[in-house]
Amino acid sequence: MSWDEIARTSQAIGEQSTLPLELQGLTTSVTTPVIYALGTLTTILSLTVMVGCLLAVRWLARRRLAAGLK
């Protein structure tokens, strides 16, 4: 997900705005708490996915090690 795809998304304007266009609209006008809430949610989601992947890799490595010792 990229927040700075203004050039590409401005070519694909439909009835609904894309996330980069919404963010540009939020930052060019008066800053509202919505942009901070969106940033917080996407950061938490990204960190959750990364930690989940790291835990899955660790679990698979332990499982593989345990299977090799039997």
- Residue 29 — φ and ψ, nearest 5°? -100, -160
The tens digit of pLDDT for each residue in 21-59 reads 677 777 666 667 887 888 899 999 999 999 999 999 999
Separation of alpha carbons 67 and 70, rounded Å: 6
Separation of alpha carbons 69 and 67, rounded Å: 6
**Global model pTM greater than 0.75:** no
- The domain ranges of the chain are 1-31, 32-70
